[in-house]
Structure 1
Amino acid sequence: MTDAEIAALDAADPLAALRHEFEIPDGLLYLDGNSLGPLTKSARLRMREVVEQEWGQSLIRGWNDHDWMGAPRRVGDAIAGLIGAEAGEVIVADSTSANLFKLAVAAMQARPDRKVVLSEPGDFPTDLYMLEGTVRTLGGGRRLELRPAEAIEAALDEDVAVLVLCHAHYKTARIRDMARLTAAAHAVGALVIWDLSHSAGVLEVDLNGCNADLAVGCGYKYLNGGPGAPAFLFVARRHQGSLISPLSGWMGHAAPFTFQDAYDPASGIGRFACGTPPVLGVSALECGVALSVRAGPKALRAKAAALTDLFVKRVEAGPAGAELRLVTPREAAARGGHVSFAHPDGYAIVQALIARGVIGDFRDPDIARFGFSPLTLSFAQVAQAADILGEVVAGGLYDRPEYRKRAAVT
């Protein structure tokens, strides 16, 4: 693709104006929004407002005067519009890991005669760890079984209580067929939990259109909620009256300020809240979600597909194309918003890129991973990053001791 053609794409980009809503250092090519979204200008202003005015001046009155208590549902309703859910089916709460535990235990207890949680080896590690904890906590012969992607459907039988999968794989970006796999699980009476951490804010997700049961997702990737932002969970309305959260905290109580000794779960999605809402975190997340809502899931998906297409084609046509192995599906319809290339020196390559102002990340054992947030990147920036990657690999510019020393976070 020529420079003129790339410039034309940027000129026609309906999301171009939203790039200016983020605070990204000049000259930095940030291709890691799938790991941590950048700071929104509105969040910086909102944080000051919440800290100095709402907390600073209102103090405890802020819970009523500024509707702090309503924020998890309000932001959850906004996220619902991005993932094909309805208002009242999504709530912001806790972390992705804690939310997965809540939903996995609730799903297992809803199928008490079934013993198996089914998932895939190589799915996001915290998901597998939490599922190990789920079966260990419940006991009674329950177990976690892992099957390769191509064997998942064949493994679905009447002993499976719940199937848990990432919608878009964190390494490969491969997208699961949500409708088909959900239907296959339902055919044997199992429930399904989808992890949307690499989907929300970059893909068109249609939970209700796929008849999904349950889902979790994080707020700090494409939703740009900030480091450690609170996560979200989805419970289809048809399940809200029957599933019970195992973490029966006071915010999930039907009437928390009656201070009863006995737990009475709230109706609707509110029963899946647990502890006191993290007001600062939810406030920052609300700013990031608002920008995704402004863009709309269809436009976000279209631009993400175009950005990843450009990057793949430009890298493979460049001087390092023969040295890098594409791990991500080549077809845009089959991949999410990130692209992964394998190379024996993947870690050193990523460090050399970072030193040149191109921020990606590394995933063991050999994956150089690049995320393409449709809100923050231009086509020209993506082309430039691909060219720099080609120069670094083809020129062996990564072959330096300082680029091989592993940091705590890769």
Structure 2
Amino acid sequence: MTPTHDPAPLDAADPLALFVRRFLPADDVVAYLDGNSLGRPLRATLGRLDAFVRRDWGSRLIRAWDEQWMELPLAIGDRLGAATLGAAAGQTTIGDSTTVLLYKTIRAALDADVGDGRDEIVLDDDQFPTDRFVIEGIARERGATIRWIRVDPALGVTPDLVREAVGPRTAVVVVNHVSYRSGYLADMPEITRIVHDAGGLVVWDLCHSTGVVPMLLDEWDVDLAVGCTYKYLNGGPGSPAFVYVASRHQASLRQPIQGWMGASDVFAMAPAYEASPGIRGFLSGTPPILGMLALQDMLDAIEEAGIDRIRAKSVALTEYALALVDDLLAPLGVAVATPRDSSVRGSHVTVTHPAFREVVEVLWQRGVIPDFRNPDGLRIGLSPLSTSFAEVRVGVEAIREALAARDAGDSA
């Protein structure tokens, strides 16, 4: 082991090290490097799920809607906003999937500008597929035009690229805060300002930044944002997404999926829809209460740790991973496809090699879990509260061993 890459002193000095023990271990996993896809469950969630079935659902039954469930999406939204988004109360709620909430927010932003001839949706060509697919459908549905920003896939959307793309026809710009592929961290306040100067609105996709990158949505004058809760918020597979709508827009923007939970009087059974004022108006159907349970345990942990300390460990983990990559993997032909500058990097490191598709399959069989992204990218996703430096070392060494074994087999 290279002395400078010994993880023991780093773990010993980590002020958040005790949080790692709060997560359930997987018996056959020696290095989990995919927390940016699906976060580990917390031990506390076992008790919460059991209590929910026995008490809230099993004992209180339908009464629990009046007692707590009706307001739960808003209450958790306020907690999430305060702990991770820099958002005051009344602007964030939980419900639906990321895809559905992207549809709601982009449609609302586009429809708000139809009257003054703004008919362009601006996005980059390396956004996560669901963002692109939703936008293509909205453009077809509403007769809008898509303006593409061509980006360097090893980076992401820069202010200069946005400045060149926006203009008098810009209705809404959609940006991934952290690129799902490269890990590039976009300049949210500056890009938002540029779009506003051009007369448009911005929808931010926060899936790869919420819970690991501090944000100040209110201070930065953000319009709308959407994010999932199963990555760094550890809500579990399929846990519901969240939506942020700035208070200044809530009276004027109308989301397109009118459902009973977003009505002004939920139980009026009225003959026509009247939207609820405030953020509740962005709800549609019955909230997925079961899907919100684990998220609450992770918010407890984030509130205790503090988002700034989480970000500091995220930077330290990705710096350590990059040092290991340079030492152990670069000699085998592995290249880094993630920004070296931590100020423009999220919490995952992407490396490339032509053999990574088959190497990832081997690693999974050995209990080392990164993920693969076409065409040749392996992502090392580092969730700060659940990941130790030792685990990163074990994972990167396993990648080296798998690559070396493959190269030896090819040359035999």
Give 3-state SS (helix, strand or coil) of 2:406's partner. coil
Question: Partner of 2:272 in structure 1?
Answer: 262
| 5+ long unaligned stretches in structure 1 | 401-410
Distance 2:146 2:240 in 1: 27
- Give the fraction of aligned pairs with identical amino acids, expressed as a percent: 40
Aligned partners of 1:348 and 1:398 also within 8 Å: no
* 1:353 is the counterpart of 2:369: no
Aligned partners of 2:86 and 2:216 also within 8 Å: yes
Distance 1:354 1:337 in 2: 21
Q: Return closer, same or farther for 1:94/1:398 CA change in 2, 3 Å cut-off.
A: farther
- Give RMSD over aligned pairs: 1.7
Q: How many residues are paired up?
A: 397
Question: Partner of 2:154 in structure 1?
Answer: none
Q: How far did 1:319 drift?
A: 5.2
Aligned partners of 2:41 and 2:294 also within 8 Å: no
**For structure 1, which segment, 314-323 or 46-55, has the greater mean C-alpha deviation from structure 2 after superposition?**
314-323
Question: Partner of 2:396 in structure 1?
Answer: 386
Aligned partners of 2:77 and 2:92 also within 8 Å: yes
Distance 1:260 1:45 in 2: 40
Aligned partners of 2:310 and 2:385 also within 8 Å: yes
**For structure 1, which segment, 5-14 or 335-344, has the greater mean C-alpha deviation from structure 2 after superposition?**
5-14
Q: Return closer, same or farther for 1:94/1:399 CA change in 2, 3 Å cut-off.
A: farther
Q: Give the letter aligned to residue 384 of structure 1.
A: V
Question: Partner of 1:188 in structure 2?
Answer: 198
Give 3-state SS (helix, strand or coil) of 1:307's partner. helix
Q: Over residues 34-79 of structure 1, what are the superposed CA-to-partner deviations in whole Å (9 max), with x where a residue is unaligned?
A: 00011111222111111222211221111123x0111101111111
Give 3-state SS (helix, strand or coil) of 1:396's partner. helix
Q: Return closer, same or farther for 1:319/1:341 CA change in 2, 3 Å cut-off.
A: closer
Q: Give the letter aligned to residue 35 of structure 2.
A: G
Q: How far did 1:275 drift?
A: 0.6
Aligned partners of 1:352 and 1:397 also within 8 Å: no
Q: How far did 1:320 drift?
A: 4.6
**For structure 1, which segment, 10-19 or 286-295, has the greater mean C-alpha deviation from structure 2 after superposition?**
286-295
Q: Return closer, same or farther for 1:197/1:398 CA change in 2, 3 Å cut-off.
A: farther
Q: Give the letter aligned to residue 74 of structure 1.
A: A
**For structure 1, which segment, 109-118 or 42-51, has the greater mean C-alpha deviation from structure 2 after superposition?**
42-51
Question: Partner of 1:120 in structure 2?
Answer: 124
* 1:284 is the counterpart of 2:294: yes
Q: How far did 1:374 drift?
A: 0.2
Distance 2:300 2:103 in 1: 28
Distance 1:178 1:346 in 2: 32
* 1:54 is the counterpart of 2:56: yes
Give 3-state SS (helix, strand or coil) of 1:57's partner. coil
Q: Return closer, same or farther for 1:319/1:343 CA change in 2, 3 Å cut-off.
A: closer
Aligned partners of 1:224 and 1:289 also within 8 Å: no
**What TM-score do the two structures reach when normalised by structure 1?**
0.93
Distance 1:383 1:333 in 2: 23
Q: How far did 1:207 drift?
A: 1.3
Question: Partner of 1:219 in structure 2?
Answer: 229
**For structure 1, which segment, 184-193 or 17-26, has the greater mean C-alpha deviation from structure 2 after superposition?**
17-26
Distance 1:145 1:37 in 2: 34
Q: 1:148 aligns with which of 120, 130, 150?
A: 150
**What TM-score do the two structures reach when normalised by structure 2?**
0.93
Question: Partner of 2:139 in structure 1?
Answer: 135
Q: Over residues 272-295 of structure 1, what are the superposed CA-to-partner deviations in whole Å (9 max), with x where a residue is unaligned?
A: 011101110012222222222222
Distance 1:385 1:397 in 2: 19
Distance 1:319 1:197 in 2: 28
Question: Partner of 1:404 in structure 2?
Answer: none
Question: Partner of 2:91 in structure 1?
Answer: 89
Q: How far did 1:104 drift?
A: 0.5
Distance 1:29 1:331 in 2: 25
Give 3-state SS (helix, strand or coil) of 1:284's partner. helix
